[in-house]
């Protein structure tokens, strides 16, 4: 039973308890039973060995080697230890963090958008072979039809200027920062998201901050398109006649995907309209972009086959223009005129095709 013994006396039987908190759940505990001689005011030290699953009964991993370190748990009411590194070392590696900012939340088609992308290495190892890449979201297979890069600068490395943009940044030391600035012209009306991701050849401790996105809205301009016709006021049956149809962009920006069409008047035969395609009696030609104030056109050749009033027509449409523009022009056709042999147009020459009756 517990008690005391005089100095130099013979110790009889003294019972005591040894305890240790085990927050990790050891599968086996061993306490040393070495005999000790307790002197005046001397404490007895006891060795306690804890064995955990997967490490063997001795606490040594299978195959040898030292057991993994475990941060000790302080006993209740123990004072806090002085500051310093713990027994269990932290994980080392690179940590690339990226942010992106767009200066304007709403723009119009044709406007210029400014973006600022900042990449930092907040890890404790250098990021070797760092690369930043754009990931197009809208029309990913045709990103240059959505936005066109006007200029791009970077404080480190080199970048491509055609979308999708790719920047080779080299090695970023711990604490290093790279800033990428772009000016881009928006070509479509839509809610657009700019997404950029960064990576390197060095393992990272955190990859949740490797991608940044910024969203903005592009609205269409109030575009206008105007159809027109240039034609002679009169003509004669059997005599060659031509007119031209046109489409003019009224601005304020370029009209895109313009389609200009004409349905030749009834009583107009042997029709020719170079550069057009024909569908259900309508002759059309497509034009990619027409700048504000500029016009596109094509000619139509043929022969009036009857007297009276013939009406030539034109129709113009464009993307982002809600209503088609139409134009009409009357042509008064009289009877056949004299056809001197010298005025005949031989086949193969420029101008309308020769008329068999003349």
Could you give the count of Cα atoms lying within 13 Å of 31 in the half-sphere of its Cβ? 9
Q: Where are the alpha helices (DSSP H) in 49-190?
A: none
Could you give the count of Cα atoms lying within 13 Å of 28 in the half-sphere of its Cβ? 10
For 171, the token pair is 């090695």
User: Which H, E and C letters describe 194-244, residue by residue?
Assistant: EEEEEECCCCECCCCCCEEEEEEEEECCCCEEEEEEECCCEEECCCCEEEE
CATH number of 224-334: 2.60.40.10
- String of b and e for 7-19 (b: at least 16 CB within 10 Å)? eeeeeeeeeeeee
Contact call for residues 186 and 226 (beta carbons, < 8 A): no
Fold of 96-219: Immunoglobulin-like (2.60.40)
For 75, the token pair is 């006993």
**Does the pTM of the predicted model rise above 0.75?**
no
Q: Give the start-to-end residue ranges of the domains of the chain.
A: 1-73, 96-219, 224-334
For 254, the token pair is 């370029």
Q: What is the pLDDT along the chain (358 residues), one digit of tens a residue?
A: 455 555 555 555 556 666 777 766 677 777 765 555 555 555 566 667 777 665 544 555 455 555 555 555 666 666 766 665 554 455 689 999 999 999 889 998 888 999 999 999 999 999 999 999 999 999 999 999 999 999 999 999 999 999 999 999 999 999 999 999 999 999 988 999 999 999 999 999 999 999 999 999 998 767 789 999 999 999 999 999 999 999 999 877 678 889 999 999 999 999 999 999 999 999 999 998 888 889 999 999 999 999 999 999 999 998 877 789 999 999 999 998 765 544 444 444 455 554 444 4
What's the rounded Cα separation, in Å, for the pair 352 and 158?
A: 57
Count of C-beta atoms within a 10 Å radius of residue 219: 15
| Dihedral pair phi/psi, residue 342, rounded to 5° | -70, -20
Contact call for residues 159 and 184 (beta carbons, < 8 A): no
């Amino acid at each position: 039973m517990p008690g005391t013994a005089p100095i130099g006396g013979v110790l009889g039987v003294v019972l005591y308890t040894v305890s240790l908190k085990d927050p990790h759940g050891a599968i086996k505990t061993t306490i040393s039973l070495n005999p000790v001689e307790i002197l005046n005011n001397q404490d007895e030290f006891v060795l306690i060995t804890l064995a955990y699953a997967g490490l063997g009964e001795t606490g040594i991993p299978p195959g040898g080697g030292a057991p993994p370190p475990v941060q000790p748990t302080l006993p209740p009411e123990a004072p806090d230890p002085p500051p310093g590194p713990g027994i269990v070392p932290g994980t080392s590696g690179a940590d690339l963090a990226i942010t992106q900012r767009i200066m304007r939340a709403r723009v119009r088609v044709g406007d210029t958008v400014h973006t600022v992308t900042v990449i930092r290495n907040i890890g404790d190892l250098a990021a070797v072979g760092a690369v930043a890449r754009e990931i197009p979201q809208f029309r990913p297979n045709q990103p240059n039809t959505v936005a066109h890069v006007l200029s791009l600068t970077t404080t480190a490395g080199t970048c491509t200027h055609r979308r999708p943009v790719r920047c080779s940044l080299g090695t970023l030391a711990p604490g290093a920062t790279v800033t990428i600035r772009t000016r881009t012209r928006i070509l479509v009306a839509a809610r657009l998201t700019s997404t950029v991701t960064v990576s390197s050849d060095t393992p990272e401790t955190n990859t949740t901050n490797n991608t940044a996105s910024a969203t903005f809205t592009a609205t269409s301009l109030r575009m206008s398109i105007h159809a027109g016709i240039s034609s002679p006021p009169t003509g004669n049956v059997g005599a060659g006649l031509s007119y031209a149809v046109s489409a003019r962009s009224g601005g304020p920006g370029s009209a895109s995907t313009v389609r200009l069409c004409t349905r030749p008047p009834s009583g107009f035969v042997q029709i020719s309209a170079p550069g057009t395609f024909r569908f259900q009696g309508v002759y059309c030609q497509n034009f990619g972009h027409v700048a504000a104030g500029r016009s596109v056109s094509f000619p139509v050749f043929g022969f009036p086959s009857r007297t009276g009033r013939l009406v030539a027509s034109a129709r113009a449409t464009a993307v982002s223009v809600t209503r088609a523009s139409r134009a009409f022009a009357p042509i008064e056709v009289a009877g056949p005129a004299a056809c001197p042999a010298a005025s005949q147009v031989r086949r193969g020459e420029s101008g309308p095709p020769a008329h068999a009756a003349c």
